[in-house]
Amino acid sequence: MKEIKHYINGQYVGSVSGKLFNNVNPANGKVISKVHEAGREEVDAAVQAAKAALSGPWGKLTVDQRSAILHKVAAGINARFDEFLEAECLDTGKPKSMASHIDIPRGAANFSVFADMVKNVPAESFEMSTPDGTGAINYAVRRPKGVIGVISPWNLPLLLMTWKVGPALACGNTVVVKPSEETPTTTALLGEVMKEAGVPDGVFNVVHGFGGDSAGAFLTEHPLVDGFTFTGETRTGEVIMKSAAKGIRDISLELGGKNAGLVFADCDMDKAIEGTLRSAFVNCGQVCLGTERVYVERSIFDEFVARLKVGAEELRVGPPDDPNANMGPLVSLRHREKVLSYYQKAVDDGATVITGGGVPDMPNEFAGGAWVQPTIWTGLADDSAVVTDEIFGPCCHIRPFDTEEEAIELANSLPYGLASAIWSENITRAHRVAGQVDAGIVWVNSWFLRDLRTSFGGSKQSGIGREGGVHSLEFYTEMKNICIKL
Protein backbone atom coordinates (compact mmCIF):
# COMPACT_ATOMS: atom_id res chain seq x y z
CA MET A 1 0.00 0.00 0.00
CA LYS A 2 1.32 3.40 -0.95
CA GLU A 3 2.70 5.59 1.82
CA ILE A 4 2.60 9.38 1.69
CA LYS A 5 5.54 10.94 3.48
CA HIS A 6 6.50 14.47 4.48
CA TYR A 7 8.61 16.53 2.08
CA ILE A 8 11.28 18.30 4.13
CA ASN A 9 14.42 20.03 2.88
CA GLY A 10 14.12 18.42 -0.55
CA GLN A 11 13.60 14.86 0.70
CA TYR A 12 10.65 12.59 1.42
CA VAL A 13 10.86 11.44 5.03
CA GLY A 14 8.68 9.40 7.33
CA SER A 15 7.61 10.26 10.85
CA VAL A 16 9.96 9.35 13.68
CA SER A 17 6.96 8.22 15.70
CA GLY A 18 5.86 5.84 12.97
CA LYS A 19 2.29 7.15 13.27
CA LEU A 20 0.23 6.68 10.12
CA PHE A 21 -3.37 7.45 9.23
CA ASN A 22 -5.64 6.28 6.43
CA ASN A 23 -6.35 8.24 3.28
CA VAL A 24 -9.79 7.12 2.07
CA ASN A 25 -11.38 7.37 -1.36
CA PRO A 26 -14.77 9.01 -0.66
CA ALA A 27 -16.31 7.46 -3.78
CA ASN A 28 -16.11 3.91 -2.39
CA GLY A 29 -14.89 4.19 1.21
CA LYS A 30 -11.70 2.24 0.50
CA VAL A 31 -8.25 3.08 1.87
CA ILE A 32 -6.01 4.27 -0.96
CA SER A 33 -2.86 5.13 1.00
CA LYS A 34 -1.28 5.46 4.42
CA VAL A 35 -0.13 8.95 5.44
CA HIS A 36 2.65 9.77 7.91
CA GLU A 37 1.50 12.05 10.72
CA ALA A 38 3.97 14.77 11.67
CA GLY A 39 5.01 15.34 15.25
CA ARG A 40 6.84 18.36 16.62
CA GLU A 41 10.13 16.95 15.38
CA GLU A 42 9.07 16.85 11.72
CA VAL A 43 7.41 20.27 11.88
CA ASP A 44 10.49 21.80 13.48
CA ALA A 45 12.73 20.22 10.84
CA ALA A 46 10.52 21.67 8.09
CA VAL A 47 10.49 25.16 9.62
CA GLN A 48 14.24 25.10 10.24
CA ALA A 49 14.83 24.05 6.62
CA ALA A 50 12.57 26.84 5.39
CA LYS A 51 14.36 29.38 7.59
CA ALA A 52 17.79 28.31 6.35
CA ALA A 53 16.67 28.43 2.72
CA LEU A 54 15.79 32.12 3.03
CA SER A 55 19.45 33.04 3.24
CA GLY A 56 20.60 30.24 0.92
CA PRO A 57 20.50 30.05 -2.87
CA TRP A 58 16.81 31.00 -2.98
CA GLY A 59 17.44 34.31 -1.24
CA LYS A 60 20.20 35.17 -3.70
CA LEU A 61 18.09 34.74 -6.84
CA THR A 62 16.81 37.74 -8.77
CA VAL A 63 13.10 38.20 -9.39
CA ASP A 64 13.57 37.08 -12.99
CA GLN A 65 15.39 33.93 -11.90
CA ARG A 66 12.67 33.01 -9.37
CA SER A 67 10.04 33.69 -11.98
CA ALA A 68 11.72 31.36 -14.46
CA ILE A 69 11.79 28.55 -11.90
CA LEU A 70 8.11 29.00 -11.07
CA HIS A 71 7.23 28.79 -14.75
CA LYS A 72 9.04 25.44 -14.74
CA VAL A 73 6.89 24.38 -11.78
CA ALA A 74 3.74 25.25 -13.75
CA ALA A 75 5.07 23.35 -16.76
CA GLY A 76 5.92 20.39 -14.52
CA ILE A 77 2.34 20.15 -13.25
CA ASN A 78 1.01 20.29 -16.79
CA ALA A 79 3.53 17.69 -17.96
CA ARG A 80 2.17 15.31 -15.29
CA PHE A 81 -1.43 16.44 -15.74
CA ASP A 82 -2.95 12.97 -15.77
CA GLU A 83 -1.04 11.95 -12.65
CA PHE A 84 -2.23 14.99 -10.72
CA LEU A 85 -5.77 14.49 -12.03
CA GLU A 86 -5.89 10.87 -10.90
CA ALA A 87 -4.51 11.75 -7.45
CA GLU A 88 -6.91 14.66 -6.96
CA CYS A 89 -9.96 12.62 -7.95
CA LEU A 90 -8.98 9.66 -5.77
CA ASP A 91 -8.65 11.97 -2.76
CA THR A 92 -11.84 13.97 -3.37
CA GLY A 93 -14.08 11.72 -5.47
CA LYS A 94 -14.95 14.65 -7.73
CA PRO A 95 -15.68 14.04 -11.43
CA LYS A 96 -12.64 14.13 -13.66
CA SER A 97 -14.63 16.31 -16.03
CA MET A 98 -14.57 19.04 -13.37
CA ALA A 99 -11.05 18.56 -12.02
CA SER A 100 -9.54 18.46 -15.51
CA HIS A 101 -11.04 21.84 -16.38
CA ILE A 102 -10.66 23.66 -13.04
CA ASP A 103 -8.48 22.08 -10.35
CA ILE A 104 -5.39 21.01 -12.27
CA PRO A 105 -5.18 23.85 -14.83
CA ARG A 106 -5.66 26.47 -12.09
CA GLY A 107 -3.16 24.64 -9.89
CA ALA A 108 -0.52 25.17 -12.57
CA ALA A 109 -1.67 28.67 -13.52
CA ASN A 110 -1.26 29.91 -9.96
CA PHE A 111 2.50 29.59 -10.42
CA SER A 112 2.79 31.11 -13.89
CA VAL A 113 0.40 34.00 -13.17
CA PHE A 114 2.22 35.13 -10.03
CA ALA A 115 5.62 34.47 -11.61
CA ASP A 116 4.76 37.15 -14.16
CA MET A 117 2.89 39.42 -11.80
CA VAL A 118 5.73 39.78 -9.30
CA LYS A 119 7.93 41.29 -12.02
CA ASN A 120 5.47 44.13 -12.56
CA VAL A 121 4.29 44.96 -9.06
CA PRO A 122 4.39 48.73 -8.42
CA ALA A 123 6.18 50.47 -5.59
CA GLU A 124 6.30 54.14 -4.61
CA SER A 125 8.82 56.96 -4.57
CA PHE A 126 8.70 60.56 -3.32
CA GLU A 127 10.99 63.51 -3.56
CA MET A 128 11.01 65.78 -0.53
CA SER A 129 12.60 69.05 0.52
CA THR A 130 15.00 69.34 3.45
CA PRO A 131 15.95 72.33 5.64
CA ASP A 132 19.35 72.65 3.98
CA GLY A 133 17.82 72.73 0.53
CA THR A 134 19.56 69.63 -0.86
CA GLY A 135 16.48 67.44 -0.73
CA ALA A 136 15.92 63.74 -0.23
CA ILE A 137 14.41 60.81 -2.07
CA ASN A 138 12.17 58.18 -0.49
CA TYR A 139 11.53 54.95 -2.32
CA ALA A 140 9.96 51.66 -1.36
CA VAL A 141 11.23 48.14 -1.95
CA ARG A 142 9.48 44.86 -1.27
CA ARG A 143 11.21 42.13 0.69
CA PRO A 144 9.98 38.60 1.50
CA LYS A 145 8.05 38.19 4.73
CA GLY A 146 10.00 35.04 5.63
CA VAL A 147 8.73 31.56 6.45
CA ILE A 148 5.04 31.20 5.60
CA GLY A 149 2.86 28.53 7.17
CA VAL A 150 0.31 27.43 4.55
CA ILE A 151 -2.72 25.51 5.84
CA SER A 152 -4.92 24.47 2.94
CA PRO A 153 -8.40 22.91 2.73
CA TRP A 154 -9.77 19.72 1.21
CA ASN A 155 -12.44 20.99 -1.17
CA LEU A 156 -10.07 22.24 -3.92
CA PRO A 157 -6.79 20.80 -2.62
CA LEU A 158 -4.30 21.60 -5.38
CA LEU A 159 -5.93 24.82 -6.55
CA LEU A 160 -6.21 26.48 -3.14
CA MET A 161 -2.81 25.28 -1.94
CA THR A 162 -0.99 26.67 -4.99
CA TRP A 163 -3.12 29.84 -4.76
CA LYS A 164 -1.05 30.49 -1.63
CA VAL A 165 2.27 28.83 -2.44
CA GLY A 166 2.54 30.46 -5.89
CA PRO A 167 2.59 34.09 -4.72
CA ALA A 168 4.53 33.22 -1.55
CA LEU A 169 7.40 31.77 -3.57
CA ALA A 170 7.16 34.44 -6.26
CA CYS A 171 7.86 37.03 -3.55
CA GLY A 172 10.91 35.12 -2.31
CA ASN A 173 9.44 33.49 0.79
CA THR A 174 9.80 29.87 1.81
CA VAL A 175 6.85 27.73 2.88
CA VAL A 176 5.79 24.91 5.13
CA VAL A 177 2.51 23.47 3.86
CA LYS A 178 0.05 21.50 5.98
CA PRO A 179 -2.56 20.10 3.58
CA SER A 180 -5.84 18.73 4.82
CA GLU A 181 -5.57 15.24 6.21
CA GLU A 182 -8.45 14.32 3.88
CA THR A 183 -6.59 15.24 0.68
CA PRO A 184 -2.80 14.96 1.03
CA THR A 185 -1.74 13.43 -2.28
CA THR A 186 -1.34 16.26 -4.79
CA THR A 187 0.48 18.44 -2.26
CA ALA A 188 2.92 15.59 -1.62
CA LEU A 189 3.32 15.00 -5.35
CA LEU A 190 4.16 18.67 -5.88
CA GLY A 191 7.44 18.08 -4.04
CA GLU A 192 8.66 16.00 -6.99
CA VAL A 193 7.76 18.78 -9.41
CA MET A 194 9.54 21.37 -7.25
CA LYS A 195 12.69 19.23 -7.26
CA GLU A 196 12.58 18.73 -11.01
CA ALA A 197 12.03 22.46 -11.60
CA GLY A 198 15.14 23.39 -9.64
CA VAL A 199 13.52 24.83 -6.52
CA PRO A 200 16.30 24.76 -3.89
CA ASP A 201 15.95 22.38 -0.96
CA GLY A 202 14.07 23.87 1.99
CA VAL A 203 12.03 26.35 -0.03
CA PHE A 204 8.94 24.11 -0.28
CA ASN A 205 8.17 21.78 2.62
CA VAL A 206 5.14 19.62 3.40
CA VAL A 207 4.05 18.12 6.71
CA HIS A 208 0.97 15.92 7.07
CA GLY A 209 -1.42 15.53 9.95
CA PHE A 210 -4.40 16.95 11.75
CA GLY A 211 -5.18 20.20 13.58
CA GLY A 212 -5.10 20.08 17.37
CA ASP A 213 -2.12 18.32 18.98
CA SER A 214 -0.81 17.48 15.51
CA ALA A 215 0.90 19.09 12.53
CA GLY A 216 -1.47 22.07 12.34
CA ALA A 217 -1.04 23.12 15.96
CA PHE A 218 2.71 22.46 15.93
CA LEU A 219 3.10 24.65 12.85
CA THR A 220 1.05 27.59 14.14
CA GLU A 221 2.85 27.46 17.50
CA HIS A 222 6.33 27.48 15.97
CA PRO A 223 8.06 30.79 16.74
CA LEU A 224 10.14 30.85 13.53
CA VAL A 225 7.09 31.03 11.23
CA ASP A 226 6.59 34.64 10.15
CA GLY A 227 3.05 34.48 8.80
CA PHE A 228 0.12 32.15 8.23
CA THR A 229 -2.32 31.81 5.39
CA PHE A 230 -5.37 29.62 5.92
CA THR A 231 -8.55 28.71 4.09
CA GLY A 232 -11.18 26.84 6.07
CA GLU A 233 -13.88 27.16 8.67
CA THR A 234 -14.19 30.17 10.94
CA ARG A 235 -13.59 28.32 14.23
CA THR A 236 -10.24 27.00 13.01
CA GLY A 237 -9.35 30.49 11.83
CA GLU A 238 -9.95 31.80 15.35
CA VAL A 239 -7.55 29.18 16.76
CA ILE A 240 -4.86 30.11 14.23
CA MET A 241 -5.36 33.79 14.97
CA LYS A 242 -4.76 33.17 18.67
CA SER A 243 -1.53 31.28 17.95
CA ALA A 244 -0.34 33.96 15.53
CA ALA A 245 -0.84 36.65 18.18
CA LYS A 246 2.12 35.25 20.10
CA GLY A 247 5.08 36.88 18.41
CA ILE A 248 2.81 39.22 16.41
CA ARG A 249 2.80 37.09 13.25
CA ASP A 250 0.76 38.17 10.25
CA ILE A 251 -2.32 36.27 9.08
CA SER A 252 -4.44 35.92 5.96
CA LEU A 253 -7.69 34.08 6.64
CA GLU A 254 -10.33 33.06 4.11
CA LEU A 255 -13.03 31.56 6.29
CA GLY A 256 -16.61 30.32 6.24
CA GLY A 257 -19.58 31.66 4.39
CA LYS A 258 -23.34 31.30 4.16
CA ASN A 259 -23.67 33.06 0.88
CA ALA A 260 -26.83 34.64 -0.47
CA GLY A 261 -28.19 34.71 -3.99
CA LEU A 262 -30.69 37.50 -4.79
CA VAL A 263 -33.00 36.77 -7.73
CA PHE A 264 -35.09 39.72 -8.90
CA ALA A 265 -38.19 39.52 -11.11
CA ASP A 266 -36.36 41.34 -13.89
CA CYS A 267 -33.69 38.63 -14.12
CA ASP A 268 -32.99 36.46 -17.13
CA MET A 269 -34.59 33.32 -15.68
CA ASP A 270 -32.46 30.91 -17.74
CA LYS A 271 -29.25 32.57 -16.51
CA ALA A 272 -30.46 32.65 -12.92
CA ILE A 273 -31.42 28.97 -12.90
CA GLU A 274 -28.19 27.83 -14.55
CA GLY A 275 -26.06 30.00 -12.27
CA THR A 276 -27.84 28.95 -9.09
CA LEU A 277 -27.62 25.27 -10.01
CA ARG A 278 -23.86 25.68 -10.31
CA SER A 279 -23.46 27.78 -7.19
CA ALA A 280 -25.51 25.41 -5.02
CA PHE A 281 -24.39 22.02 -6.30
CA VAL A 282 -20.99 22.16 -8.04
CA ASN A 283 -18.30 20.11 -6.27
CA CYS A 284 -21.14 18.54 -4.25
CA GLY A 285 -21.74 21.94 -2.65
CA GLN A 286 -18.26 21.96 -1.14
CA VAL A 287 -17.27 25.44 -2.30
CA CYS A 288 -16.77 28.33 0.12
CA LEU A 289 -18.33 30.66 -2.47
CA GLY A 290 -21.41 28.48 -2.97
CA THR A 291 -24.98 29.70 -2.55
CA GLU A 292 -26.84 28.05 0.32
CA ARG A 293 -29.41 30.88 0.76
CA VAL A 294 -31.50 31.89 -2.24
CA TYR A 295 -33.89 34.85 -2.00
CA VAL A 296 -36.34 35.21 -4.90
CA GLU A 297 -38.77 38.03 -5.63
CA ARG A 298 -42.25 36.75 -4.83
CA SER A 299 -43.78 37.21 -8.29
CA ILE A 300 -41.37 34.65 -9.80
CA PHE A 301 -40.85 32.49 -6.70
CA ASP A 302 -42.98 29.50 -7.73
CA GLU A 303 -41.52 29.38 -11.24
CA PHE A 304 -37.97 29.61 -9.94
CA VAL A 305 -38.47 26.83 -7.37
CA ALA A 306 -40.09 24.55 -9.94
CA ARG A 307 -37.33 25.07 -12.51
CA LEU A 308 -34.50 24.71 -9.99
CA LYS A 309 -36.09 21.43 -8.87
CA VAL A 310 -36.01 20.12 -12.43
CA GLY A 311 -32.39 21.17 -12.83
CA ALA A 312 -31.31 19.56 -9.56
CA GLU A 313 -33.02 16.30 -10.46
CA GLU A 314 -31.23 16.25 -13.81
CA LEU A 315 -27.82 16.29 -12.11
CA ARG A 316 -25.98 13.00 -12.52
CA VAL A 317 -24.30 11.77 -9.35
CA GLY A 318 -21.43 9.46 -10.12
CA PRO A 319 -17.78 8.44 -9.64
CA PRO A 320 -14.81 10.31 -11.13
CA ASP A 321 -14.50 8.12 -14.23
CA ASP A 322 -18.14 8.55 -15.25
CA PRO A 323 -17.89 11.02 -18.16
CA ASN A 324 -21.51 12.04 -17.65
CA ALA A 325 -21.26 12.66 -13.92
CA ASN A 326 -21.45 16.28 -12.82
CA MET A 327 -21.60 15.68 -9.06
CA GLY A 328 -19.39 13.40 -6.97
CA PRO A 329 -19.52 12.42 -3.30
CA LEU A 330 -18.80 14.50 -0.24
CA VAL A 331 -15.19 14.35 0.92
CA SER A 332 -15.75 11.81 3.70
CA LEU A 333 -18.31 9.76 5.56
CA ARG A 334 -17.71 11.97 8.59
CA HIS A 335 -18.61 15.06 6.61
CA ARG A 336 -21.67 13.26 5.25
CA GLU A 337 -22.85 12.71 8.81
CA LYS A 338 -22.73 16.47 9.34
CA VAL A 339 -24.58 17.24 6.09
CA LEU A 340 -27.24 14.59 6.72
CA SER A 341 -27.76 15.95 10.22
CA TYR A 342 -28.79 19.26 8.62
CA TYR A 343 -31.00 17.41 6.15
CA GLN A 344 -32.80 15.93 9.16
CA LYS A 345 -32.81 19.27 10.99
CA ALA A 346 -34.57 20.87 8.03
CA VAL A 347 -37.36 18.30 8.24
CA ASP A 348 -37.58 18.69 12.01
CA ASP A 349 -37.91 22.47 11.59
CA GLY A 350 -40.82 22.04 9.18
CA ALA A 351 -39.15 22.55 5.81
CA THR A 352 -40.85 21.60 2.60
CA VAL A 353 -38.40 19.26 0.85
CA ILE A 354 -38.62 20.23 -2.80
CA THR A 355 -36.20 17.51 -3.88
CA GLY A 356 -33.53 15.27 -2.38
CA GLY A 357 -32.97 15.07 1.34
CA GLY A 358 -31.29 11.69 1.52
CA VAL A 359 -28.71 9.31 0.09
CA PRO A 360 -28.87 8.15 -3.54
CA ASP A 361 -28.78 4.50 -4.53
CA MET A 362 -25.34 3.66 -5.91
CA PRO A 363 -23.90 0.52 -7.53
CA ASN A 364 -22.39 -1.98 -5.08
CA GLU A 365 -18.78 -0.97 -5.70
CA PHE A 366 -19.65 2.60 -4.64
CA ALA A 367 -22.17 1.79 -1.91
CA GLY A 368 -19.60 2.62 0.77
CA GLY A 369 -18.99 6.13 -0.56
CA ALA A 370 -20.00 9.46 0.94
CA TRP A 371 -22.91 10.12 -1.41
CA VAL A 372 -25.80 12.51 -0.78
CA GLN A 373 -28.62 13.85 -2.90
CA PRO A 374 -28.75 17.43 -4.15
CA THR A 375 -31.39 18.99 -1.94
CA ILE A 376 -33.69 22.03 -2.05
CA TRP A 377 -35.91 23.30 0.77
CA THR A 378 -38.46 26.04 1.24
CA GLY A 379 -40.55 27.17 4.21
CA LEU A 380 -37.93 27.50 6.96
CA ALA A 381 -37.78 30.38 9.43
CA ASP A 382 -34.90 32.81 9.03
CA ASP A 383 -33.40 31.70 12.35
CA SER A 384 -33.37 27.98 11.50
CA ALA A 385 -29.88 26.48 11.80
CA VAL A 386 -30.26 25.22 8.25
CA VAL A 387 -30.55 28.85 7.11
CA THR A 388 -27.87 30.33 9.40
CA ASP A 389 -25.13 27.65 9.51
CA GLU A 390 -22.66 26.80 6.77
CA ILE A 391 -23.56 23.24 5.77
CA PHE A 392 -21.00 22.80 2.94
CA GLY A 393 -23.12 20.31 1.06
CA PRO A 394 -25.22 20.23 -2.13
CA CYS A 395 -28.22 22.07 -0.77
CA CYS A 396 -29.99 25.41 -0.62
CA HIS A 397 -33.02 27.00 1.00
CA ILE A 398 -35.22 29.29 -1.11
CA ARG A 399 -37.26 32.11 0.45
CA PRO A 400 -39.41 34.81 -1.19
CA PHE A 401 -38.94 38.56 -0.72
CA ASP A 402 -41.11 41.51 -1.67
CA THR A 403 -38.85 44.56 -1.89
CA GLU A 404 -35.29 45.42 -2.76
CA GLU A 405 -34.72 46.69 0.76
CA GLU A 406 -35.92 43.39 2.23
CA ALA A 407 -33.62 41.43 -0.08
CA ILE A 408 -30.59 43.44 1.05
CA GLU A 409 -31.54 43.07 4.70
CA LEU A 410 -31.86 39.30 4.32
CA ALA A 411 -28.53 39.02 2.49
CA ASN A 412 -26.79 40.94 5.29
CA SER A 413 -28.56 39.24 8.18
CA LEU A 414 -25.80 36.75 9.07
CA PRO A 415 -22.32 37.26 10.55
CA TYR A 416 -20.69 36.00 7.34
CA GLY A 417 -19.69 38.12 4.36
CA LEU A 418 -17.78 36.11 1.78
CA ALA A 419 -19.71 36.18 -1.49
CA SER A 420 -23.06 36.94 -3.06
CA ALA A 421 -24.74 36.64 -6.45
CA ILE A 422 -27.31 39.06 -7.86
CA TRP A 423 -29.55 38.18 -10.76
CA SER A 424 -31.12 41.21 -12.46
CA GLU A 425 -31.11 42.61 -15.99
CA ASN A 426 -31.53 46.13 -14.56
CA ILE A 427 -27.88 47.18 -14.33
CA THR A 428 -28.71 50.25 -12.24
CA ARG A 429 -30.45 48.09 -9.64
CA ALA A 430 -27.69 45.47 -9.75
CA HIS A 431 -25.04 48.12 -9.16
CA ARG A 432 -27.06 49.71 -6.36
CA VAL A 433 -27.69 46.41 -4.57
CA ALA A 434 -24.15 45.14 -5.02
CA GLY A 435 -22.82 48.19 -3.23
CA GLN A 436 -25.04 47.50 -0.22
CA VAL A 437 -24.40 43.77 0.18
CA ASP A 438 -21.82 43.01 2.89
CA ALA A 439 -19.57 40.59 1.02
CA GLY A 440 -16.02 40.54 -0.23
CA ILE A 441 -17.06 39.51 -3.72
CA VAL A 442 -20.39 40.11 -5.47
CA TRP A 443 -21.26 38.57 -8.82
CA VAL A 444 -23.90 40.07 -11.07
CA ASN A 445 -25.53 37.65 -13.52
CA SER A 446 -22.68 35.17 -13.07
CA TRP A 447 -21.00 33.03 -10.47
CA PHE A 448 -17.40 31.88 -9.92
CA LEU A 449 -16.16 34.15 -12.67
CA ARG A 450 -12.64 34.99 -11.51
CA ASP A 451 -9.90 37.25 -12.79
CA LEU A 452 -6.80 36.26 -10.80
CA ARG A 453 -5.68 39.89 -10.67
CA THR A 454 -8.69 40.96 -8.59
CA SER A 455 -9.08 40.92 -4.82
CA PHE A 456 -10.56 37.87 -3.14
CA GLY A 457 -11.59 37.50 0.48
CA GLY A 458 -14.39 37.99 2.96
CA SER A 459 -15.73 40.50 5.44
CA LYS A 460 -17.12 40.02 8.95
CA GLN A 461 -16.57 36.41 10.10
CA SER A 462 -15.60 35.30 6.61
CA GLY A 463 -12.00 36.32 6.95
CA ILE A 464 -9.21 38.85 7.19
CA GLY A 465 -7.15 40.10 4.28
CA ARG A 466 -7.34 39.70 0.53
CA GLU A 467 -5.74 37.34 -1.96
CA GLY A 468 -5.30 37.71 -5.69
CA GLY A 469 -3.15 39.97 -7.83
CA VAL A 470 -1.21 42.66 -6.04
CA HIS A 471 -3.30 41.95 -2.92
CA SER A 472 -1.55 38.59 -2.51
CA LEU A 473 1.82 40.27 -2.96
CA GLU A 474 0.92 42.76 -0.22
CA PHE A 475 0.60 39.92 2.28
CA TYR A 476 3.69 37.98 1.20
CA THR A 477 6.02 40.99 1.26
CA GLU A 478 7.16 43.62 3.73
CA MET A 479 7.43 47.15 2.42
CA LYS A 480 10.66 48.89 3.30
CA ASN A 481 11.06 52.64 2.83
CA ILE A 482 14.56 53.85 2.00
CA CYS A 483 15.24 57.57 2.52
CA ILE A 484 18.36 59.00 0.83
CA LYS A 485 19.57 62.44 1.82
CA LEU A 486 20.94 64.19 -1.26
- Report the catalytic residues: 254, 288
For CA atoms 74, 79, 80, 84, the dihedral sign is: positive
**C-beta contacts of 95-101 below 8 A and 24+ residues apart:** 95/318, 95/319, 95/320, 95/322, 95/325, 95/326, 95/327, 95/328, 96/320, 96/321, 96/323, 97/323, 97/325, 97/326, 98/282, 98/283, 98/326, 98/328, 99/320
Contact 297, 401 (CB under 8 A): yes
Are residues 257 and 462 in contact, defined by beta-carbon separation less than 8 angstroms? yes
If you ran DSSP here, which 8-state letter would residue 370 be given?
A: -
DSSP 147: E
Shortest CA distance to 479 belongs to which of 3, 248, 142, 76?
Answer: 142
Q: Quote the CA–CA distance of 456 and 474 in Å, as a whole number.
A: 13
- Rg over alpha carbons for the chain, rounded to the nearest Å, is 23
